[in-house]
A and B are shown apart, each in its own frame.
Chain A
Amino acid sequence: MDCIRKRVNDEIERGWIGSNLECPYHPCHFWGQDCTFCYCPFYPCEDEDLGCSTRGKNGKPVWNCSDCLLIHRKEVGSYVMSEIRSRGIADARDPRMKDLFQDAKKRFWRMGKALMVVGATSDAGKSVTVAAICRILHRRGYLVAPFKSQNMSLNSKVTRNGSEIAMIQTLQSQAAGLKNPDHHMNPILLKPKGDDMSQVVVCGKPFADYRVKEYYDEFVPGPGIRIVKEHVDFMRRRYDFVVMEGAGSPAEINIYDKDIANMKAAEMADAAVVLVVNVEWGGSFAYALGTVELIPEKDRRRIKGIILNNVRGSTDSIRQGAKRLEELAGVPVIGVIPHVEVSLPSEDSEALRGVGGKGSGRYKVGVVRFPRIANFTDLDPLFMEDASVVYVQSPEDLDGVDAVILPGTKNTVADYKWMCAAGISDGLKALRGKVPILGICGGYRMMGSVMDDSVGMESGAAGIYEGLGFFDNRTVFSEYKKTVANREATLLRGDGGEVTGYELHMGQTEVGEEPLFRIERMFGDPWNEGSVKEDEKLFGTYLHGCFDLPAFRRYFLSFVGEGASVSGKEGEKSYKELLEDSLDALADAFEKGLDMDRLMGILEAGE
């Protein structure tokens, strides 16, 4: 603690105010943060609104305020520094510091306001709406964060602390200008393994597997409600605005009382609600009116606006209908948003429904469309090359492909059986050596010789399965333990190069092949990962996101035909920069299509 005080005293003596763009860690919290106090002059404030007491390594209680952003607000940094000066404080231990803290908190801290975005259907555009509002508010200088109490998705990512949360919340967090997405943004993640069973991830860690009925009967009324309340409160204490995302439709009246993702979460956060409807599918006015009216009276009053999203062509005709909708529903239409063509990852496989492929590049990459396909956003960076994707659901879909990818899946065994029954496995064996084939995570395991699930952990039914036999690898599912980690790696083949990614899997694989990557570690020895047989054009890795940086995707595509000359369509932009541009374009479209005064009014008023 004395060390922190000494640093603070240095900061006071220096008296410098502003953002430190020179710092190699900038921004360590959010874009636009104030760095006047890299170390908080009030530590430990012991204010429960801003931090909590935890146990340190030695078992002694330690004040933990690592998520507090108060001192990094622009107005707070300069206020505190100038007050320190004018009050003549020279030492962090000065008792007047406590008064100054109280003054600063009183002046600048308040419980944040929450806005809940619900959708009339899945894929209504809730998550892009949340991302757009986060970016708009961030650009207007607010501290804002996304939140989704319960997300059912097979696309997840790993946070800095090694927690697993839904991918889309990490994207929204990026939209909000935040550096470190964390598990508070998505405290409950449901990962479906079959039609009726899901793995429930709580605070980023696997909690247990539940059947749908047990989840609603036991988990929701038990720990579920408490978890949502705790985390949404946590977020409101740290941000001006928490933009919450609902799940599915809030008007599923058959399970209304057990739904902790929509109106109940809004109630817990005292949030105003806006309803988003996807106009593209037709019936949007009916969906909007039906949703508003089926929600019970006591919750309906929270609904402050309707957004008609994804309008193709002219918005004039829709606006006429919108007037009539306002009269019928008694809720104003606060936005008509045109269809925006942006490259953003999609949240769930509903977005893949009825989609035969994506992109228009020259090289056709066949992606096996597993029934429980997971982390398929891994493939998005491929569109930065001259590549397009076709989804493979039958052996005929493999005709004429230049490369094949076996993506991740939540249920390796069940989806492997599906792939064999569909005849795709035989198709892949016929393509071996002719076109490059890459397996990622679940797909990588399938390329091995054996998948040993003798305890029935993965599929529910015990068994040992023979894989495609492309690699001499053996995967064993034994204990209920998940590998969750971000990785930095080096490509060991081709021209080498940097690769980033993350591992998310149950079970472990014994590898009998040459490695593809070397995992680099800040402390400790590196180790090898993945499998490669260049002469047979076979590649496999556990690293989701391995295409994000150009090195590996270009190496992989170089095995197409006689060796494709691959040059990025988007120049040398990284995938992350492309996402930034897309988020800005999205926010621009929403800012234009939304009645912003009205939205700001709704945000400020809360419920």
Chain B
Amino acid sequence: MRVLVLGTSSAAGKTTLCAMLCRHYAREGMDPVPFKASNLSLNSYATKDGGEIGMGQAFQAWSAGLEPETDMNPVLLKPSGNGIIQAVVNGRPFQDYGRGRELDREAAMAEAVKAYGRLSAKHGFVICEGSGSPAELNLMDRDMANTGLMDRTDVPAILVGDIERGGVFAAIYGTWRIMPDRLKPRLKGFVINRFRGDGSILKPGIDRIEELTGMKCLGVLPYLSLRFPEEDSYSSSEGRLEGTTVREAFLRNIDEFTDAAERSGFDFDALTRIARGRSSSRRHPHGADLGVLRDCRIHGHRLSADYEDVGVGKDAA
């Protein structure tokens, strides 16, 4: 099982949603593992074997009841000032780039796909987190964690949008519209995050988005004043944080959030079906059949021979 959580913006709540899913599926005994192909963050965590990964993945690993390891975040991009970014691959410094020097994106991405393959082989459910928005028209050809991963594996995806700042329907619909047509059939669902008040008011909007895109609304998650690790500078730092260690504090918060999600009627069953690749055979509004996912494990467009050699994606389901 595998799913990729894409955000409609930075700080839409991807990290927390993935952590919650890790927690929920760990409670269900389904052996989830977090994964983020590439992470742009200054907040990193040292794994037991001395590797470096994004803090968000460490937090998600704890939520899943696992020890953080470098495969969970194979590419970490750390801005080191003056326009230079240090690329950490498989937990070790790989290359400094910026100011005219390019990152060897293909090499880094190949490592990421290998790591994804290893996690898929070892665990029951790979819960992948995207990075930023997948719909940056000016950056899409350089994408790694969003369309980059989708093009190189068969992972189905869901979108999460933040309703607190408004425009969430436009964000979800617009993201779906901008995604390349070849990937649209793999966008299966969406989640509305940080909602306050009576959820019934949203129904006409949700119905319309489902109708327009063929994606299913998996849930409307409540706003909770909790503090989670910071991914980047746009994350919210508000909320409570209590406990003796950071790890304990985060875990207490993620338990509270998971309880709230479970109470809110979040459709975990539908997500499970999406992650298994057994989606409803509902006709896509643009004519594509959503039921064919299992047969399109490798998506050809930008898949180079290198990736076919890696063979990842084949065992992902």
Contacts and interface: CB of A to CB of B under 8 A. Distances in A.
B169 A324 contact: no
B158 to A, nearest CB: 15
A123 B196 CA distance: 18
B238 A393 contact: yes
B123 to A, nearest CB: 29
Interface in A276-297: 280-291, 293-294
Interface in A417-459: none
A24 B132 CA distance: 56
B236 A283 contact: no
Interface in B203-243: 203-206, 208, 234-238, 240
B234 A286 contact: no
B114 to A, nearest CB: 27
A86 interface: no
B174 A212 contact: no
Interface string B154-196: 0000000000111101111111011000000000000000001
A394 interface: yes
B253 interface: no
Given A253-B169, A253-B205, A286-B175, A354 B238 contact: yes
Contact of B167 (A280, A291, A393): A291
Contacts of B107: none
A251 interface: yes
Contacts of B135: 283, 285-286
A321 interface: yes
B174 A285 contact: yes
B138 A317 contact: yes
A254 interface: yes
A254 B201 contact: yes
Contact of A251 (B169, B196, B236): B169
Given A280-B234, A282-B132, A283-B175, A248 B167 contact: yes
Contact of A286 (B171, B198, B208): B171
Which of A122, A253, A280 counts the most chain B CB atoms within 10 A?
A253
B140 to A, nearest CB: 9
A223 B204 CA distance: 25
B133 interface: yes
B197 interface: yes
Given A254-B204, A283-B132, A321 B173 contact: no
Contacts of A393: 238
B248 interface: no
B259 interface: no
Which residue, of A195, A283, A354, has the highest number of chain B Cβ atoms within 10 A?
A283
A353 interface: yes
Contact of B170 (A291, A321, A356, A394): A291
Contacts of B172: 290
B137 interface: yes
A350 interface: yes
A290 B132 CA distance: 17
Given A254-B201, A286-B174, A354-B238, A249 B166 contact: yes
Given A120-B167, A293-B177, A283 B7 contact: yes
Contact of A350 (B165, B174, B177): B165
A287 B177 CA distance: 10
Interface stretch (B8-16, B29-37, B55-63, B85-93): B8-16
A287 B138 contact: no
A424 to B, nearest CB: 13
Question: How large, as a class, is the contact surface on chain A?
Answer: 35 or more
Contacts of A253: 169, 204-205, 208
Contacts of A325: 137
B202 A282 contact: no
Nearest to A280: B234
Contacts of A289: 174, 177-178
B119 to A, nearest CB: 26
B8 A286 contact: yes
Contact of A195 (B171, B196, B201, B208): B196
B139 interface: yes
A254 B178 contact: no
Indicate the size class of the contact surface on chain B: 35 or more
A328 B204 contact: no
B238 A321 contact: no
A562 interface: no
Contacts of B256: none
B165 A290 contact: no
A479 interface: no
Contacts of B308: none
A318 interface: yes
B11 to A, nearest CB: 7
B136 interface: yes
A353 B170 contact: no
Interface centre among A123, A255, A287, by most B CB within 10 Å?
A287
B8 A353 contact: no
A350 B234 CA distance: 12
A255 B197 CA distance: 15
Contacts of B202: 254
A290 B10 contact: no
Given A293-B177, A328-B177, A196 B197 contact: yes
Interface string B39-64: 00000000000000000000000000
Contacts of A212: 197, 201
Contacts of B203: 254
Contacts of B204: 253-254
B280 to A, nearest CB: 24
Contacts of B8: 283, 286-287
A283 B169 contact: no
B149 to A, nearest CB: 17
Nearest to A118: B167
A10 interface: no
Contacts of A317: 138-139
Contacts of A248: 166-167
Nearest to B196: A195
Contacts of B177: 286, 289-290, 293, 328
Contact of B174 (A123, A255, A291): A291
Contacts of B10: 281-283
9 A-B pairs closest in CB distance: A290-B174, A283-B133, A249-B167, A321-B138, A290-B170, A254-B205, A286-B174, A321-B137, A283-B9
29 contacts: A119-B167, A121-B171, A212-B201, A213-B201, A248-B166, A253-B204, A253-B205, A254-B202, A254-B204, A282-B10, A282-B136, A283-B133, A283-B171, A285-B135, A285-B174, A286-B8, A286-B177, A287-B9, A287-B167, A290-B171, A290-B173, A293-B173, A321-B137, A324-B138, A328-B177, A328-B178, A350-B164, A353-B164, A354-B11
Given A122-B167, A328-B178, 6 more contacts: A281-B234, A283-B174, A287-B8, A290-B169, A290-B172, A293-B173
Interface of A: 119-123, 195-196, 212-213, 248-249, 251-255, 280-291, 293-294, 317-318, 320-322, 324-325, 328, 350, 353-354, 356, 393-394
